[in-house]
């Protein structure tokens, strides 16, 4: 190779703007605001928007199994219906590539798993609306502390 030729720079995640933006949704007002913010960011950056719902898993003795599972499945179906309705309303106005993923487990671990699997460049979550986050720490705070991706917390 002579001096006039340059070698291509190695791929570096996040240097040309985010390519994959992962946003957590759970049906709360805060999560919908986070999804709207992330959708706008994805549209402006030409990124893929990945919406993630982590279905909570109750300890065996805390619930009667099937009713809780049915309820979390219903939430996932309702979220998907709302997301589809929103994208249908905006079709032709905004063009955003998006996916919806749902999995079971702890919201923090589920978001980490999806962000890692999808090689997320950014993670967006809503601020916690739960008083219980004072004990475990909110998902948002835990994601920020993980220090693996830029995290935006939407109020």
Burial bucket for residue 89 (CB in 10 Å: 0-12, 13-18, 19+): exposed
- For the beta carbon of residue 122, count every other beta carbon within 10 angstroms: 22
One pLDDT digit (tens) per residue for the chain, 155 residues: 555 555 555 555 545 667 999 999 888 889 889 998 999 999 889 999 999 988 877 655 454 545 555 666 777 777 777 777 766 665 555 678 888 888 888 999 999 999 999 999 999 999 877 655 444 468 888 999 998 999 999 98
Per-residue pLDDT, 13: 54
| pLDDT the model gives residue 67 | 56
Look at residue 134 in the predicted model and tell me its pLDDT. 47
Confidence at residue 61, expressed as pLDDT on a 0 to 100 scale:
46
Q: Are 59 and 50 in contact (CB under 8 A)?
A: no
Altogether, the residues listed in the chain come to a count of 155
pTM: 0.73
> What would the DSSP string read from start to end of the chain?
--TT--PPPPP-TTBTB-SEEEEE--SSHHHHHHHHHHHHHHHHHTPEEEEEEEE----TTTS-SHHHHHHHHHHHHHHHHHHHHHHHHHTTT---EEEEEEEES-HHHHHHHHHHHTT-SEEEEEPP--TTHHHH--HHHHHHHHTSS-EEEE-
Cβ 44 vs Cβ 38: under 8 Å: no
Tokens representing residue 81 in the block: 């219906």
């Amino acid at each position: 190779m002579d001096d006039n030729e340059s070698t291509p720079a190695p791929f570096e995640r996040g240097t040309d703007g985010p390519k994959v933006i992962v946003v957590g949704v759970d049906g709360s007002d805060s999560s919908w605001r986070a999804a709207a913010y992330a959708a706008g960011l994805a549209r402006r950056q030409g990124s893929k928007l990945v919406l993630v719902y982590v279905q909570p898993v109750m300890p065996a003795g805390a619930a009667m199994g099937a009713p809780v599972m049915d309820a979390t499945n219903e939430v996932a179906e309702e979220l998907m219906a709302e997301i589809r309705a929103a994208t249908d309303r905006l079709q032709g106005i905004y063009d955003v590539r998006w996916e919806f993923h749902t999995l079971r487990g702890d919201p923090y671990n589920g978001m980490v798993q999806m962000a890692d699997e999808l090689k997320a460049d950014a993670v967006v979550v809503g601020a916690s609306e739960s008083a219980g986050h004072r004990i475990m720490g909110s998902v948002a705070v835990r994601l920020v502390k993980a220090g693996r991706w830029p995290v935006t917390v939407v109020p």
